[in-house]
Each structure stands twice: as structure tokens, then as C-alpha cells.
């Protein structure tokens, strides 16, 4: 018998491959019986997701998993979750990939990038999605991944945005330029490619879509040559579920909402310019 029962909205089920992720952790999660309240509510991250998640907390859900959330203010949801000691985990499209931010202290993209930021001269990044994808949704996924590894971006502005993608620029913490290209095409696999350049090499991060059958890659180049960080065969979806399991079991609250506030604040700045 599973420790926690799960219910998901149809949209969340499709976007987050919920059945597959739950099946990969059978001792912890299982579907709720028809007509019974579930321990965990899975919500699609469309507009209004913070209100829906807060409602789930109020009705007694012990855990909330939000799939691919759009930027929204999370202050009220964070307060409700803290008061109820509910666990809210965000399943971010690329930023939840364990290669970007590890949980066990193993080498990851965040450590590699931040260690090299002081001597960096440029960060270039490209996000790719299929035609018809909302460019604003792609930009949110893109910036979330970059923020996860870089920590800070300054002076970000969108130079171009249209049906085929976007171009954005900004500065890293050390003042070096940052560029972000969004491309809607089938000519290359969907995913995000982040490259940090330094005087003697840099860091290259390639993250596929969560439903892809191949892992992310992080390569660090320097005076020592090129080093491929340990390959983690776990999708962003499953990593989010594993983190939810760990926090529910330990009775702790993740910092997902606080971290997501950086993306929300950045998006608010873009909207105001």
C-alpha cells in the first residue's frame, strides 16, 4: 500500500506525465480511491495556479505539486502552506532537472557555473520548443533554468518577441553580458542550452525536455581540460516527485516558492518595460 494517495487534474496529468512518475515511486505514491480525498494534489501551472493550490491546502492536502507554473505572486500561497505545514513543490520544465541543482552535494551545474562566474565574459543560452508554443511560456521556462544555475540576472530586457521566438539580454552578477534566444522549430531537439564562457574555458549545460529519453549533460572546461559531470538518468518530473517524497517524509518545507519569487519579480520587471 502506498504511503500517500494522489489526485491530478487532467491538464496536470498530461503536462507532468503524472502516472509515469507515480508508478516509478510505488511504495510512496498511489492513486486515490474514487470519492476520497487525496493526500497529494497535482495542479497544472496555468494562470491562477496559486489560487488553486491555496484552495487545495485549505481542503487538507498534505502535498501540492505544480507542473510547469507560469510566473505568479506566491506570497499568499506560501503563507497558507506554512500555516498548514503543507509541502508545495514546483515541477519546473527544465529547472527541476537534477543535473542543474543536485540534492545530495554531488557536483552540479549550479556549482560549476557559480564557481566560474567571477571570471566569466559571456553567458549565451538558447531554448528550443516546437512551433505553436507560447513564446512567453518558453521565456519563463528559459529564465527559470538560467536563474537556477546563475543565481542573479540584472537589467534583463526583451529585444524581440514574436511567433518564431524571442531575443533577450541582460547582465550577470559580475557585469558580463547575458543573452537568451528562444527558437520555435522542429529542426533541433526541444530543450535548453546554457553556455558560460571564461578566459580558459567555461561551462556547457544541455537539458532536454522532461519527456525526453536522454539525460542532461554538464561539461566543465578549464586548464585541466574538459570534465563531464556525473550523468543523472532522472527526468525533471521524477526529480520533483522524489523531492516531494523526501519533504513529506521528513516533515520539512522546500524553498520552491521563495526561489520562484525571483522569476516572478524578474517577469514583473520585464512587463513594466
- For residue 15, the enclosing domain spans 4-94+236-272
Query: What integer pLDDT is reported at residue 273 of this predicted model?
Result: 58
Region class of 65: left (phi > 0), else alpha (psi between -120 and 50), else beta: beta
Q: Are residues 146 and 248 in the same domain?
A: no
**Crossing angle (nearest 10°) for helices 75-84 and 49-58:** 20
Q: Are residues 203 and 244 in the same domain?
A: no
Q: Give the CATH number for residue 18.
A: 3.40.50
Residue 118, in any domain of the structure: yes
User: CA–CA separation, 226 vs 266, rounded Å?
Assistant: 33
Write out pLDDT tens, residues 159-211: 999 999 999 999 999 999 999 999 999 999 999 999 999 999 999 999 999 98
Alpha helices in 102-182, H assignment, sequence order? 109-116, 135-150
Residue 103, in any domain of the structure: no
Which pLDDT band holds residue 271 (cuts at 50, 70, 90)? low
Question: Is the Cβ–Cβ distance between 196 and 209 less than 8 Å?
Answer: no
Q: Are residues 31 and 75 in the same domain?
A: yes
Provide the whole-model pTM: 0.94
Residue 212, in any domain of the structure: yes
Write out pLDDT tens, residues 68-121: 999 999 999 999 999 999 999 999 999 999 999 987 778 999 999 999 999 999
Q: Are residues 118 and 224 in the same domain?
A: yes
Which pLDDT band holds residue 260 (cuts at 50, 70, 90)? very high
For residue 1, pLDDT over 60 is answered with no
Query: Number of folded domains in the chain?
Result: 2
Q: Are residues 118 and 135 in the same domain?
A: yes
User: CA–CA separation, 68 vs 45, rounded Å?
Assistant: 5
Q: Are residues 82 and 138 in the same domain?
A: no
Q: Are residues 130 and 67 in the same domain?
A: no
Amino acid at each position: 500500500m502506498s504511503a500517500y494517495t494522489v489526485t491530478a487534474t487532467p491538464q496536470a496529468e498530461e503536462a507532468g506525465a503524472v502516472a509515469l512518475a507515480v508508478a516509478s515511486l510505488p511504495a510512496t505514491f498511489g492513486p486515490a480511491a474514487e470519492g476520497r480525498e487525496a493526500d497529494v494534489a497535482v495542479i497544472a501551472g496555468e494562470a491562477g495556479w496559486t489560487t488553486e493550490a491555496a484552495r487545495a491546502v485549505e481542503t487538507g492536502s498534505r502535498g501540492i505539486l505544480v507542473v510547469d507554473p507560469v510566473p505568479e505572486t506566491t506570497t499568499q500561497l506560501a503563507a497558507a502552506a506554512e500555516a498548514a505545514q503543507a509541502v508545495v513543490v514546483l515541477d519546473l520544465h527544465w529547472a527541476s532537472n537534477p543535473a542543474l541543482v543536485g540534492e545530495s552535494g554531488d557536483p552540479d551545474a549550479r556549482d560549476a557555473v557559480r564557481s566560474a562566474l567571477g571570471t566569466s565574459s559571456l553567458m549565451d543560452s538558447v531554448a528550443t520548443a516546437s512551433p505553436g508554443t507560447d513564446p512567453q511560456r518558453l521565456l519563463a521556462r528559459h529564465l527559470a533554468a538560467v536563474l537556477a544555475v546563475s543565481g542573479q540576472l540584472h537589467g534583463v530586457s526583451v529585444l524581440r518577441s514574436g511567433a518564431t521566438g524571442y531575443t533577450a539580454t541582460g547582465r550577470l552578477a559580475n557585469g558580463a553580458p547575458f543573452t537568451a534566444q528562444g527558437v520555435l522549430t522542429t529542426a533541433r531537439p526541444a530543450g535548453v542550452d546554457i553556455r558560460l564562457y571564461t578566459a580558459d574555458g567555461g561551462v556547457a549545460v544541455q537539458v532536454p525536455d522532461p519527456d525526453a529519453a536522454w539525460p542532461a549533460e554538464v561539461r566543465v572546461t578549464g586548464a585541466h581540460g574538459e570534465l563531464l559531470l556525473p550523468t543523472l538518468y532522472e527526468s525533471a518530473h521524477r526529480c520533483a516527485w522524489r523531492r516531494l517524497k523526501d519533504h513529506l517524509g521528513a516533515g520539512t518545507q522546500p524553498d520552491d516558492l521563495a526561489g520562484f519569487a525571483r522569476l516572478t519579480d524578474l517577469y514583473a520587471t520585464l512587463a513594466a518595460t
